[in-house]
Amino acid sequence: MSTALERGRELTKRLNPDLEQILDDRYGALLPDFAESLIEWAYGRHYARPGLDLKTRQLCTIAALTALGGQTGPQLKINIEHTLAAGASRTEIVEAIWQMAVYGGLPAAINGLNAAMDVFAEDDRSAA
């Protein structure tokens, strides 16, 4: 097992302990090893790098996914969840999304805000 895969698995334990299994259940039959590859490459080689703390990396991810627009909705929602798990506040998340109105346009920012509202509402329901 590569060191990057180990780092990725350690990191996803903090953000979403079931992520690798969820990905494997969804994509494993179609693309074997997809889940392991994503955990190793994205989380073990990128998110685990030194230089930025995890919360900042997650806020950057939210900003990028927001600016890319509505087609990234599912990924945006999961990364909003991860950003909360990394210690960001709802205000920080909303501000990162809103900042993207300048770069991705108002429709992209509105889609991002809608995604955040959905995640926050689900989080509130789970907490109740």
> Are 33 and 74 contained in the same domain?
no
> What is the model's pLDDT at position 1?
58
Closest among 127, 7, 125, 12 to 78, alpha carbons compared: 12
Residue with tokens 């993207």: 100
Do 70 and 115 lie in a common domain?
A: yes
Say if residue 43 is in the same domain as residue 1.
yes
- CA distance linking residue 1 with residue 122, whole number of Å: 35
User: What pLDDT score does 65 carry?
Assistant: 97
The low-confidence residues of the chain, meaning pLDDT below 70, are 1
- Name the burial class of residue 74, with classes exposed (0-12), middle (13-18) and buried (19+) by CB atoms within 10 angstroms of its CB: exposed
List the domain range (segments joined by +) for residue 19.
1-49
